[in-house]
């Protein structure tokens, strides 16, 4: 099966191809150990003409499988892939490597081949810098629960307290109506004049977002009920604009809406994580029509 996926990507129907990717994901995830033949085949596969988003999925499967059960071959694969050329793929491999080194660092000395490979990589200035940045971002991600609690218990109650004032000052009733002034921004200094403390909280929220904190986890946590997320691999699927799921989710949009432009913008956005982008698009069909004017 592993050996035929590259050919199937070109020759088989799209559904068959994705089904094989799903099966391979599960195989790499649930198999405790990779055989030598499997190791060689996965190496070839990840260096072939697979779409970048499918390569990312297989990298995640290696990480999840390694998290279940230590396997030197999977760890070595992550190390090798982290030195690749495709930014999306090597960055994901580097994240997996950081996570697994934290978990298995105590036993790395037992595997001199893999330890030597990581040492060789760490001698490369750019790789070392990327590794250090990944570690820093990982440490920041540990604050996600605290950030979520702060938003839920601190920021949102404060916003609700001033809700009526905001509605009046921002004229929310007419903000979506078409007019010659539709591109005019509100006078934010006037909006926050009576609530400077809230302005400080918004500023803190913005800084957290700039630093990479997952400030939207609480907002999107309830939008994972779609059948799309019934497949475990879809939780780790990169957001890419060509995904057929997006075409189906946006087919109800008004003709005046440039859905391709919308997809392009969402793909380039760094504000939301991949699964939240899918949640957002899948939820559009359930939105009131007035909110679909964008």
Q: What is the pLDDT of residues 23-74, one digit of tens each?
A: 999 999 999 999 998 899 899 888 787 999 999 999 999 999 999 999 999 9
Least confident window among 19-33, 104-118, 149-163, 181-195: 181-195
Same domain, 113 and 160: no
Is residue 19 located within the same domain as residue 114? yes
Q: Is 127 helix (H, G, I), strand (E, B) or coil?
A: helix
- For residue 188, pLDDT over 70 is answered with no
Mean pLDDT lowest among 2-16, 94-108, 234-248, 265-279:
2-16
Question: Which is more confidently placed, 9 or 129?
Answer: 129
290 DSSP 8-state letter: G
Q: If residue 235 lies in a helix (H) or strand (E), which one and from where to where?
A: none
Number of structural domains in the chain: 3
Q: Do residue 137 and residue 36 come from a single domain?
A: yes
Q: State whether 278 and 159 are in the same domain.
A: no
Average pLDDT, the chain: 81
Pick the last residue of a domain from 106, 141, 176: 141
For the record, the structure tokens of 28 come out as 């790499």
In a 3-state reduction of DSSP, which class is residue 246? helix
Q: Note whether 124 and 149 are same-domain residues.
A: no
Where does the pLDDT of residue 291 fall: very low under 50, low under 70, confident under 90, or very high at 90 and above? low
pLDDT digits (tens, 9 = 90+) for 75-95: 999 999 999 999 999 999 999
Write down the pLDDT at residue 180.
Answer: 45
Q: Quick check: helix, strand or coil at residue 74?
A: helix
Same domain for 149 and 169? yes
pLDDT (0 to 100) of residue 212:
66
Last residue of a domain, one of 210, 229, 261: 210
For residues 137 and 8, membership in a common domain is answered with: yes
* Domain end among 156, 183, 210: 210
Indicate the pTM of the whole model: 0.78
Instruction: Look up the domain containing 159 and give its range.
Output: 143-210
């Amino acid at each position: 099966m592993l050996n035929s996926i590259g050919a199937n990507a070109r020759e088989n129907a799209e559904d068959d191809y994705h089904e094989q990717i799903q099966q391979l994901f599960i195989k790499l995830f649930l198999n405790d150990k990779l055989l030598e033949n499997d190791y060689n085949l996965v190496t070839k596969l990840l260096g072939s003409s697979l779409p970048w988003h499918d390569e990312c999925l297989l990298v995640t499967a290696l990480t999840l499988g390694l998290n279940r059960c230590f396997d030197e071959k999977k760890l070595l694969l992550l190390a090798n892939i982290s030195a690749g050329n495709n930014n999306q793929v090597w960055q994901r491999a580097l994240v997996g490597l950081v996570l697994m080194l934290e978990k298995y660092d105590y036993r790395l000395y037992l595997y001199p081949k893999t330890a030597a490979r990581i040492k060789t990589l760490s001698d490369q200035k750019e790789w070392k810098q990327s590794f250090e940045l990944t570690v820093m971002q990982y440490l920041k991600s540990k604050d996600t629960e605290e950030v979520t609690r702060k938003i839920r218990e601190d920021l949102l109650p404060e916003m609700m307290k001033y809700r009526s004032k905001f509605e009046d000052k921002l004229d929310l009733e007419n903000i979506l109506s078409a007019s010659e002034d539709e591109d005019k921004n509100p006078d934010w200094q006037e909006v926050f004049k009576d609530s400077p403390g809230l302005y400080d909280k918004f500023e803190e929220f913005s800084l957290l977002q700039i630093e990479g904190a997952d400030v939207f986890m609480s907002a999107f946590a309830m939008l994972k009920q779609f059948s799309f997320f019934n497949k475990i691999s879809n939780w780790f699927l990169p957001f890419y604009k060509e995904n057929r799921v997006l075409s189906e989710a946006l087919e109800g949009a008004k003709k005046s809406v440039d859905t391709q432009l919308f997809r392009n913008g969402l793909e380039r956005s760094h504000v939301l994580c991949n699964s939240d982008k899918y949640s957002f698009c899948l939820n559009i069909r359930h939105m009131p029509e007035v909110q679909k004017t964008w």
